[in-house]
Amino acid sequence: MNLRTKAIVILFATFISLLFFFYFSIRQIVLREHEELEEVTVQQNIRRALNRIQDEIDAISTINNDWACWDDTYNFILDTNEQFVADNLMDETFSGLQINLMTFQNLSGEMVEARTFELEEKKSAPLSARWASRLQNVGKLLDQTLDIHEVSGLLDIDGECLLISARSILTSVNQGPSHGCLIMGRLLDRQKIERFRKNTDLDLDFASPADPALEPDFREARTHILQFPKATTSQEPVQWLQILDDHTIAGYALLTDLFGKPILLMRIAMPRAIYQSAQSALNYVLLSLLGIGLVFGLLILHLWQQHVLSRLRMLSEQVSRIGALGDLAAQVQVSGHDELSVLSENFNRMLRALKQASVALQESELRYRSFVQHFQGIAFRFSLDMKLLFVHGAIERITGYSEQELAGEAPRWADLIFEEDRPAFSELRSRVFSTPGLKMERQYRIRRKDGSMRWIQELIQNVRDDRGVPVYIQSTAYNITAGKQAELDLQQSRDELIRLSAHLQAIREEERTRIACKIHDDLGQLLMALKIDVSSMSKKIRSNPEEADRRANSAKETVDRIMAAVQTISLELKPSVLDALGISDALEWQANEFRKLTGLECALHVDPPDLPTSKAIATTVFRVTQEALSNIVRHAGARRVEIRLEQKDANLLLTLHDDGRGIRPDEIQSLNSFGLIQMKERILAHNGSFSIEGLPGKGTTVHITLRLEPEPAPKETS
């Protein structure tokens, strides 16, 4: 065997061996990864179907909650009035709620009222004894002592599967004691299953595990699932997968009823598109490798025939090494002065050119990538007949639509613009189209895909060629919503400051008027009475000593009342206990005054009792507490108030909680009274934080955090 034949045999033997080794190695890896991906997809689809069933049960539970926690239902269990049945348990009720079953049971388990309804035939029917017995067992699952007021899930009655919810009958504010339970149910029939298929876009099917006529794959799935130790007691349905054939894979899940009994076996079938795609890709790889190997072998044979095997082998090794490493800076060795040396030199020049081109390309790609990544607007290019030629930029971030959606037939950019802004937009583009070299800028609003609004600033111009003929229209749009919102917030802040300033001025005038009235009505009258008593006493002191003595006592009492009035006015302006004894005693005095004036229970907790606060912080805490207590009296309807003041690290935490009517989250956002504004201003003046939280019927809580400020040291005097 000559050298050429040996080379051919060795070449093809090596190539074929490497080809099959590579192919089968890749095949094991790729197919296994795609099989795992296929299994994950099936499991995700099973979870989607289970979630859809749970969503249906949750919807029934929500409807049941509206009926069970209702004063009318609560009273109906006791008085069983027929008017409730006539007003509420109509055929339209069942049809509107899309339920097939509604039963009312008292605490003894007796059926006060029970109805079933055929949604397809639109007619009601009495509840059978078998159904009544099963539903009474469901009612027993509710345990008031264990605070179990609601159960929901699946239930099998005479071979029919029900999506069911049972709730304790309470008042409209969820208060007891319970008068019984309300059960609602919806049949899982073929129509409902068909809707599940359409909603989830899955090949979904159900079968009873106890059905003797189960299909073979269902029987095999049931056998494997029931082998799991906790197949019927686990909270999550047990899943199992099996390959039906080369084109189909199926996933199964066992569903249990309220009592833990297997009730349904669910199957989701899915085509094995992922596996088939991997198989096809491997076949293409095999064919590609065979073609490459054939070309490579013929090339080597040709070079061998030119009697340059050694040099070509060296050159081939060098070229292969450079290709494998991807190092374009490397060079092949040049030897001799013939065509192979020229080829080597040309190859080196090609590598240098590729290196330069690669560097230039990388720099260009880097610049372009940097521009695209940091471009915050949207660039458009339209033809003269308004066909979109090009669109790029932060499209999805601004509009919610992808670049492909916006480049399609619908929606067009003009369709996103608010209807009242479209005339100005159309005028803008018309002027740009008709005026050579014109650039215009306009602001308008668009509606995102999710329905929210964005402010857009667009710069548009027409682009012409060297002859001045219009070629296309180019525009750039930017999102200026944040700036617009900042303008609105700034204007709103200005308006609030103006209103607050006017309100503060009115409060000052009102306070001055009140103090003036106090002095005129209280001190003025008392001083006049004192003047009369002194004048009368001076006249009677010689002629009638007893009368003079009586007048002197009267004058003394008048002086005492004057002192009391002065003290009252002083306390109303600023309690002296705040400066004399500190914030703890001042809050104790304030709580006592609150109890006397309102009759409400007020508890105060201060930790530590001798809090080290500056006068400014103490005054802020006192005034904020005063305003919060005033709001509780006016709005909360509370019976008890708790005030808690405590130190945590370098912060002072003030909490006021009442047991009043509470507050909804949307009401918190709309609170904007002057009292609350003053509280916020006082707290923000010390870099503090202020928040309100609460729920209807659960009371309201005010949280205030202030940073402790040390009392300024007294100045030294010489």
> pLDDT band at residue 603, thresholds of 50, 70 and 90?
very high
Q: Which residues pair with 352 in a beta bridge?
A: none
Q: Would you state the pLDDT for residue 571?
A: 55
Q: Would you state the pLDDT for residue 542?
A: 60
Q: Would you state the pLDDT for residue 526?
A: 64
What percent of the chain has a predicted confidence (pLDDT) above 70?
80
Hey, which of 62-76, 226-240, 438-452 has the most confident mean pLDDT?
62-76
What is the pTM (predicted TM-score) of this model? 0.39
Instruction: Check whether 543 has a pLDDT greater than 80.
Output: no
Alpha-carbon distance 34 to 41, whole Å? 10
What percent of the chain has a predicted confidence (pLDDT) above 90?
4
Q: Would you state the pLDDT for residue 563?
A: 67
Q: Long-range CB contacts (< 8 A, 24+ apart) of 22-31? A: 22/289, 23/282, 23/285, 23/286, 23/289, 26/282, 26/285, 27/282, 30/278, 30/281, 30/282, 31/275, 31/278, 31/279, 31/282
Q: Which domains does the chain have, with CATH numbers?
A: 39-273 (3.30.450.20), 375-479 (3.30.450.20), 486-570 (1.20.5), 575-707 (3.30.565.10)
At a CB cut-off of 8 Å and minimum separation 6, what does 454 contact? 398, 399, 445, 446, 447, 448, 479, 481
CB 445 within 8 A of CB 456: yes
Q: For 51, list phi and psi in degrees, rounded to 5.
A: -65, -35
Alpha-carbon distance 536 to 531, whole Å? 8
Using alpha carbons, list the distances in angstroms from residue 271 to 124, 248, 276. 42, 4, 9
Mean pLDDT confidence for 638-657? 90
> Which two structure tokens, joined as six digits, stand for 363?
């720099």
Q: How far is CA 484 from the centre of its chain?
A: 24
Eight-class DSSP state of 419: G
Q: Would you state the pLDDT for residue 305?
A: 66
- H or E segment to which residue 124 belongs: strand 123-125
Strand spans (E) along 364-452: 378-382, 388-393, 439-447
Instruction: List pLDDT tens digits, range 667-704.
Output: 665 555 556 777 777 787 778 888 888 888 888 999 99
Mean pLDDT confidence for 66-70? 90
> pLDDT band at residue 715, thresholds of 50, 70 and 90?
very low
Strand spans (E) along 188-301: 203-207, 239-245, 248-256, 262-271
CB 340 within 8 A of CB 315: yes
DSSP track, 356-386: HHHHHHHHHHHHHHHHHHH--SEEEEE-TT-
> pLDDT band at residue 531, thresholds of 50, 70 and 90?
low
Q: Would you state the pLDDT for residue 109?
A: 80
Q: Would you state the pLDDT for residue 233?
A: 58
DSSP track, 513-532: HHHHHHIIIIIIHHHHHHHH
Alpha-carbon distance 377 to 458, whole Å? 9
CB 645 within 8 A of CB 605: yes
